[in-house]
Amino acid sequence: MKSPYAVQVFDLLHRPGEMRERDLDITVPEGFGNAVIGVPSGAQLHIDLRMESLHDGILVSAEVDGEAVGECVRCLIEVRIPLEVELQELFAYSQDEAFEYEVQDDTIDLEPVVRDAVVLSLPFQPVCQEDCLGLCPQCGVRLLDNPGHEHEAPVDPRWAALAGLAGETGESAEDVDGAENNGATEEKR
C-alpha cells in the first residue's frame, strides 16, 4: 500500500537548481501526538510543499496546517488547537550517516518528517483557555461554569472531639472560654 505521504521526485533527481511546488491534502491514516493531544486518525492535514534539487539530495520545505484534538489538562473538556508548522529537511540521494532521510525509488516519504515536526509543536499541557480554573478538588465541578462555587471549611479532625464536648454540657464554646477566663482573674486577686 502506498503511503499518502509519499511524493514522486524523479523529475528533480540529480538536477541541481530545479524546484517544484506542490499542495498535498492528506487524510491521516494513523493518529499521532502525545498523551493528552494529537492529530487523530482520519483528520485532514494540508501540506504546502516546496522541493529543491541540490547536489547532495532534495531539500524539502513545507508548511503543515491542520487541527489537533485533545483535552484541557485543568478541566478535562475537549480542546481543538489549530496547527501551523513549518519544516525543512534534506533527503539525500545516497545512504550516509550525515543525513537522516533519503530518496528511495524516486520518492520521498514525508511521514516521519511531518510526524516529528507536528508532535514537537504540540503543547505539553494544553488548556481550553489561559485562565482556566480547572475542577473543584472536592466535588469535581468545572469552576469556569460555576464561578461562585465554594464549600464549607472542613473541621479539623483533631478538634472534632472538642466540638462534641461543648454540646454535652449545654454551654457554648464561648461560655466555656469565658468561665475559664473569669476563674483565672479571680485566682490572681
pLDDT tens digits, one per residue of 113-145: 999 999 999 999 999 988 888 888 888 788 878
Averaged pLDDT score across all residues of the chain: 82
Q: pLDDT digits over 77-105, tens only?
A: 999 999 999 999 998 887 776 677 888 88
58 touches 9 (CB < 8 A): yes
Per-residue pLDDT, 176: 46
Residue 186: pLDDT over 80: no
Q: How far is CA 158 from the centre of its chain?
A: 41
Beta-strand (E) ranges in the chain? 6-8, 19-27, 32-33, 37-39, 44-53, 57-71, 78-92, 101-102, 107-109
For 26, the grid coordinates are 492528506
Per-residue pLDDT, 48: 95
The pLDDT confidence band at residue 168, using thresholds 50, 70 and 90, is low
Residue 1: pLDDT over 50: no
Q: pLDDT digits over 53-77, tens only?
A: 988 889 999 999 999 999 999 999 9
DSSP string of 82-131, one letter each residue = EEEEEEEEEEESS--TT-SEE-BTTEEE-HHHHHHHHHHHS-SS--SSTT
111 touches 64 (CB < 8 A): no
19 touches 11 (CB < 8 A): no
Q: pTM for this one?
A: 0.70
- CA neighbours within 13 Å on the CB side: how many for 130? 0
Per-residue pLDDT, 18: 86
